[in-house]
């Protein structure tokens, strides 16, 4: 049976490639226009998402400077959960959660709502949820928004179904490329996770879309739409925008340490996946279809938890900056890991429109930083690549995409020397995580959603 399914899949991919090549020959203008519009749309929604989250988050931090945290954080969390939950429940239920599992389900030919309404609700509801205190990231929503925009453009242009599937995946990768300034990471993610295909015509369409989206994200950042976007300067043009600039020293002795780091990160990442999924099952059992109540209670609980913590923990973006810059010690790094481990799992289980890639990077970086400090204390050797290797390793274990994880972590530094240590740790973590469970967190979330839908029918 497995062989027959594999042959059927190969036959479908072959026929799909032929139909796309035929479309390129007969209606090349439609293909080019769809790619350009998809890249532009994915970049615009991704940049607007980040700008909205930053603006609302800054207002939240300003309130914290004027009022006590115990009054601000629970109230904002509950209010954000209420508004975001109502938007999703009333206008586009498919906009709940990270969005990656929805795109994966669509690419597996399941009936998943797509289109501009889903993308717009994801945009606004995600800004409200994350900006009000849900410790999630913009990348999952950007994948879904990019895919939804791509689907709508392909539908308007009356493109064939086989092309729509490819352009939706390309739009998802474009969204990831835009928010991370990682066009290679977005391109690899489409091939490695979404499409599982490396046919030349598919590669061409995806690479054009992701790099085009990244270029537009830099342009929008230059125009002032996003204060965090970079890569374009008035005097010198496009340039590399580094979020961190570490001193990278990669020695042969580091290989063994990096493999050990990968094993630790892989085990912890698999526990994290199981925790997130367990929380989602509990949430489904307790609340059922009452998404608004679920998000209100989750937002209030998260706000209450962060109100009891030191001030710095309420700004998750700043936590990643501290970890990436190596500005905290072992105890603070472990504290950040524990807090984000449990709080992001609760936030994801609430159904809030937000992604897990950014929290995964911070979690992995915290483990890398703590392990690096331990190595220094025990041996005197200072492994300078542990933070970013830990980031890649944790993402690789959760998403089961080691190459994508390598390029996402690399995008933070743009230092080619750091690719090797990240890849070593990512492969080690990927292998140990695969021994524990072959499926990624997104595949398991998709199956969980399918099971819940089956219970309702």
160-177 tens-digit pLDDT: 777 788 888 999 988 888
pLDDT category, 155, cuts 50, 70, 90? Answer: confident
Residue 249 lies inside a defined structural domain of this protein: no
**Tens of pLDDT, residues 374-421:** 888 888 777 778 899 999 999 999 999 899 889 888 888 888 888 999
Of the two residues 350 and 232, the one the predictor is more confident about is 350
Are both 148 and 276 inside the same structural domain? no
User: Do 328 and 380 share a domain, yes or no?
Assistant: yes
Is the predicted pLDDT of residue 119 greater than 60, yes or no? yes
Least confident interval from 177-191, 271-285, 423-437: 177-191
What's residue 424's pLDDT?
93
- pLDDT at 231 exceeding the cut of 60: no
What is the domain range of residue 44? 2-234
The mean pLDDT of the chain is 84
pTM attached to this predicted model? 0.88
239 in a structural domain = no
Same domain for 121 and 260: no
Distance CA 221, CA 207 (A): 21
Inform me whether the pLDDT recorded for 239 exceeds 70: no
In a domain, 404, yes or no: yes
Helices 254-287 and 330-349 sit at what angle, rounded to 10 degrees? 30
Burial of 33 (0-12, 13-18, 19+ CB in 10 A): middle
- Within this chain, do residues 230 and 258 fall inside the same structural domain, yes or no? no
Axis crossing angle, helix 116-131 with helix 139-156, rounded to the nearest 10: 160
Has residue 439 been placed in a domain? Answer: yes
Same domain? For 442 and 406 the reply is yes
By mean pLDDT, which of 15-19, 261-265, 272-276 is the weakest?
A: 15-19
The residue-averaged pLDDT of 287-291 equals 85
Same-domain check for residues 293 and 389: yes
Whether residue 189 is found in the same domain as residue 280: no
Do 46 and 169 belong to one domain? yes
Most confident of 43-52, 326-335, 419-428: 419-428
Band of residue 79 on the pLDDT scale cut at 50, 70, 90: very high
Q: What is the pLDDT of residue 225?
A: 55
Is 248 part of any domain? Answer: no
Residue 368 lies in a domain: yes
Q: What is the CATH number of the domain that holds 174?
A: 1.10.3080.10
- Structurally, the chain folds into a number of domains equal to 2
């Amino acid at each position: 049976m497995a062989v027959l399914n594999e042959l059927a899949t190969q036959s479908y991919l072959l026929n799909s490639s032929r139909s796309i090549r035929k479309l390129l020959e007969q209606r090349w203008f439609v293909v080019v226009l769809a790619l350009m519009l998809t890249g532009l749309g994915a970049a615009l929604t991704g940049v607007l998402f980040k700008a909205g989250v930053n603006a609302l988050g800054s207002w939240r931090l300003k309130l914290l400077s004027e009022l006590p945290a115990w009054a601000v954080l629970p109230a904002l969390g509950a209010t954000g959960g209420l508004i975001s939950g109502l938007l999703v429940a009333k206008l586009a239920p498919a906009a709940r959660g990270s969005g990656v599992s929805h795109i994966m389900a669509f690419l597996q030919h399941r009936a998943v709502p797509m289109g501009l309404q889903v993308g717009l609700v994801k945009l606004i509801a995600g800004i409200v949820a994350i900006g009000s205190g849900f410790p999630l990231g913009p990348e999952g929503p950007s994948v879904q928004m990019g895919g939804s925009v791509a689907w709508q453009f392909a539908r308007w242009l009356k493109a064939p179904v086989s092309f729509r599937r490819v352009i939706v995946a390309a739009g998802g990768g474009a969204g990831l490329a835009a928010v991370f300034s990682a066009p290679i990471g977005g391109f690899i993610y489409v091939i490695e996770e979404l499409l599982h295909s490396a046919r030349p015509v598919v590669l061409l369409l995806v690479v054009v879309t992701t790099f085009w989206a990244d270029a537009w994200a830099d342009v929008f950042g230059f125009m002032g739409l996003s204060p965090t976007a970079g890569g374009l300067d008035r005097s010198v043009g496009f340039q590399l925008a580094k979020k961190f600039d570490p001193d990278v020293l990669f020695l042969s002795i580091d290989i063994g340490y990096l493999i050990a780091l990968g094993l630790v990160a892989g085990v912890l990442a698999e526990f994290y996946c199981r925790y997130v999924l367990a929380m989602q099952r509990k949430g489904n059992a307790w609340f059922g279809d009452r998404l608004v109540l679920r998000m209100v209670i989750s937002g209030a609980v998260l706000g209450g938890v962060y109100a009891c913590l030191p001030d710095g923990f309420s700004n998750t973006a700043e936590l990643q900056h501290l970890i990436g810059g190596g500005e905290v010690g072992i105890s603070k790094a472990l504290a950040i890991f524990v807090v984000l481990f449990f709080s992001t799992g609760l936030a994801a289980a609430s159904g809030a429109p937000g992604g897990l890639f950014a929290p995964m990077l911070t979690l992995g970086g915290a483990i890398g930083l703590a392990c690096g400090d331990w190595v220094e204390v025990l041996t005197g050797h200072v492994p300078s690549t542990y933070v970013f290797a830990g980031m890649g390793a944790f993402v690789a274990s959760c998403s089961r995409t080691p190459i994508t994880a390598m390029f996402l972590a690399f995008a933070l530094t743009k230092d080619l020397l750091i690719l090797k240590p990240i890849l070593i740790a990512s492969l080690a973590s990927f292998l140990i995580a695969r021994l524990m469970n072959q499926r990624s967190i997104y595949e398991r979330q998709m199956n969980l959603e399918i099971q819940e839908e089956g219970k309702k029918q």
